[in-house]
Amino acid sequence: LSIEKRKQISVRGIAGLGDVAEMKRSFNRHLHFTLVKDRNVATPRDYYFALAHSVRDHLVGRWIRTQQYYYEKDPKRVHYLSLEFYMGRTLQNTMINLGLQNACDEAVYQLGLDLEELEEIEEDAGLGNGGLGRLAACFLDSMATLGLAAYGYGIRYEFGIFNQRISGGWQVEEADDWLRYGNPWEKARPEYMLPVHFYGRVQHTDSGVKWLDTQVVLAMPYDTPVPGYKNNTVNTMRLWSAKAPNDFNLQDFNVGDYIQAVLDRNLAENISRVLYPNDNFFEGKELRLKQEYFVVAATLQDIIRRFKSSKFGSRDPVRTSFDTFPDKVALQLNDTHPALAIPELMRILLDIEKQCWTAWDITVRSCAYTNHTVLPEALERWPVYMFEKLLPRHLLIIYEINQRHLDRIAALFPGDVARLRRMSLIEEGDPKRINMAHLCVVGTHAVNGVARIHSDIVRNTVFKDFYEVDPEKFQNKTNGITPRRWLLLCNPGLADIIAERIGEDFLTDLQQLRKLLDFVDDEGFIRDVAKVKQENKQKFAAFLEKQHQVKINPESMFDVQVKRIHEYKRQLLNVLHVITLYNRIKMDPNKHFVPRTVMIGGKAAPGYHMAKLIIKLITSVGEVINNDPAVRDRLKLIFLENYRVSLAERVIPAADLSEQISTAGTEASGTGNMKLMLNGALTVGTEDGATVEMAEEAGHDNLFMFGLRVDEVDELDRRGYDARRHYERLPELKLVLDQIRSGFFSPEQPELFSELVSMLLHHDRFKVLADYEAYVDCQERVSRLYQDAAAWTRVVIRNIAAAGKFSSDRTVSQYAREIWGVEPSHVKIPPPNEPPITPQS
């Protein structure tokens, strides 16, 4: 680390000498206990674990005190249920939120080590696919920072999202064995292990309904602390791991094959083995349904145990009535994946707690549902036969819910059979299916979309019939991102120059960034913003060269599209533009071109053929352009391999241009768009998702907006979309498609991309060619502005100043007040070395 960097007084806080000495002592103690066993030479990984355990020591006292405070105060608790939590790395985030980063930096430096090198050793916790899982992680950070008594509940997948390797230009998947070296941030809690039941049969008896002869799988909780930002609050993310009971396959009439019975334990434990790698796509596999029920069944038992006991450390039930349950418990369903919480809570209340159907009111008032997609292929529709086999009791409860729901609709709309069919939870057909989104709408008191345009589509199309009956249920909650990870952690240089101008409070009140509008014409600030961006670009260029042997020009515009590879996100439109630029350079090599490095990164679902072909096209086009001497440094196309949270933290601060080019009406919100805006990239985008609101906040003149709007897309669908019209009308587009189809970019296999071109011309749901001309024109406006560095940077400052709305603190505060019925708290719990506050104080 440079002396200048170490001396810098930054928003990360000044380290006291005592803090540094204490951290060194702690580090050496942990290192000693790591090594005494059988080695006397430390590896870099030993140093990482010593540091992680030293930082964890600072968490534990705050964690215990926070939970103690909740038990004594007995607030309403929020439970965020998600099949995905895309956390990334934990060390640096924990240091920042506890105010320890400078003390650790200095301690590690004095010990002759480099903090950044140690941080690089940590594996990403990749327990998510993309936006939905990363949103859950941002929400956990905000819930802790806002002092909410909140819990994240999910699955501790042994293997997270696959690691992506590019081999011969194609994506190859490798298992993500992220727990191989252990996880210093989790604590197993075997004392809270719970049984989860599958299969079996239902018996109606005089004393109620019984679910009998089930197979039991145990759910073992692993707790990870979630610290708020400098408020001493530490919440819990509890992830369940599947474990076979000791008598698994050994009960009853086992014929003595003891070895096989023990080996078969794997079948039960497979439930938490691997994250399904699909984003915005439903794959109706039985194992996935088991995962969805597993997390819900374990979580609800845990919530009810906690609801019944209210004294710290006591597990004796003290509450017996469930009337107050919705006043003490909020359940937020992150998409339909945890939808089984609704029939499972009903099963517990009806069959175990012996409630009557008033349990339905308790369930609805406790649960709320966030919708994340309007793409039909993403909606969960489980075959009834799967429920009959796996969850027979839940199927009966869903039938009863549906009957009462349809009775109500029939009373409101007599004789409207078509409406009953549209609104039923059960879709007729072969096979019959359960529509989980309908179950969620009927079984919750609040349904929200994740950006205003998305919530409008939810109300007016996807759930139109339901909105007509219960309009008060439907809300909007525009997504947000945590500014701790997505500014302070990943872009400390930018955070510092902002703090110098407006103070540090923006980190917990991001709307304060508006004050930066006073500095739009301040030459010193313009210079600082441009300097930080250039440093980030040079650092990223050095990283690419070191890690991937890819050389790029840091003086070029960094044009970045990082997100899952999906036809609706239109990475293809980006590639068509890149080829167009290439052709222009080749036609007139002496003309001045604004140099660009186009970077595309993202994973394709392993079974998504077209997405994998798109990756191959990107790498093939890059191969031609990057090796053409006529192009020189003016154009590069780079595919960023294995895009993940830790890579996002490097590329986002370095980006100049943010590509948000999905077909209008397809991207529910997007959050990468917000991260790039906050880090000083300008947006080229369609009127889709939260990009619409970004343009409102910054002013439309400060984003590069183009393309069809939602109503125009709908009109095209009604009229019939003719892609060939654009192909025949636009010579540049025709040339590009002919090159791709003829094998110009795949001379070894000339036919390789013909199906891709055929799709674009004949059955492209996402209308790439319809927006091509507007997109290319828009990109010319981008290049023109980029040539005037000061003018560009002024627009950058206006964008950063307008990013305040997109903090997840704002989003979570709105959920808290408008859905969960709780108020964010700015109470700072005293640290462990000070006396605790009483609930009255």
Euclidean distance between CA atoms 304 and 120, whole angstroms:
40
Euclidean distance between CA atoms 645 and 671, whole angstroms:
13
What are phi and psi for residue 233, nearest 5 degrees? -80, 130
Residue type for 730, please?
Answer: L
**Alpha-helical runs (H) found in 707-806:** 710-719, 723-729, 731-742, 754-762, 768-786, 789-801
User: 571-587 and 731-742 helices cross at what angle (nearest 10)?
Assistant: 100
Q: How many helices (H) and strands (E) does the chain have?
A: 34, 25
Q: Name beta bridge partners: 367.
A: 331
The residues near 9 (Cβ < 8 Å, ≥ 6 apart) are none
Kind and range of the H or E element at 170?
strand 170-174
Instruction: Pick the catalytic residue from 24, 405, 459, 563.
Output: 563
User: 789-801 and 691-698 helices cross at what angle (nearest 10)?
Assistant: 110
User: Closest Cα to residue 436, out of 336, 345, 291?
Assistant: 336
3-state secondary structure of 195: strand
The residues near 234 (Cβ < 8 Å, ≥ 6 apart) are 59, 62, 63, 66, 144, 225, 226, 227, 228
Euclidean distance between CA atoms 597 and 600, whole angstroms:
10
Residue type for 173, please?
Answer: E
Euclidean distance between CA atoms 432 and 383, whole angstroms:
6
Tell me how far the alpha carbon of residue 676 is from its chain's centroid. Answer: 15
Instruction: Pick the catalytic residue from 56, 569, 603, 644.
Output: 569
- Joined tokens for residue 133: 């899982």
37 is catalytic: no
User: Closest Cα to residue 694, out of 560, 803, 788?
Assistant: 803
Beta strand 447-449 pairing with 433-435: unpaired
765 is catalytic: no
User: Closest Cα to residue 723, out of 672, 764, 677?
Assistant: 764
Instruction: Pick the catalytic residue from 62, 405, 459, 675.
Output: 675
569 is catalytic: yes
Euclidean distance between CA atoms 229 and 57, whole angstroms:
17
Beta strand 187-188 pairing with 215-227: antiparallel
Instruction: Pick the catalytic residue from 12, 372, 634, 644.
Output: 372
Query: What would the DSSP string read from start to end of 579-641?
Result: HHHHHHHHH-TTS----EEEEEE----TT-HHHHHHHHHHHHHHHHHHT-TTTGGGEEEEEET
Distances (CA, A) of 775 to 335, 572, 708, 770, 778: 32, 12, 10, 10, 5
Instruction: Pick the catalytic residue from 58, 564, 726, 767.
Output: 564
Answer whether the bond into residue 431 is a cis peptide, omega within 30°.
yes
- Joined tokens for residue 664: 């209008």
671 is catalytic: yes
C-beta atoms surrounding 623 within 10 Å: 15
Catalytic residue set: 372, 563-564, 569, 671, 675
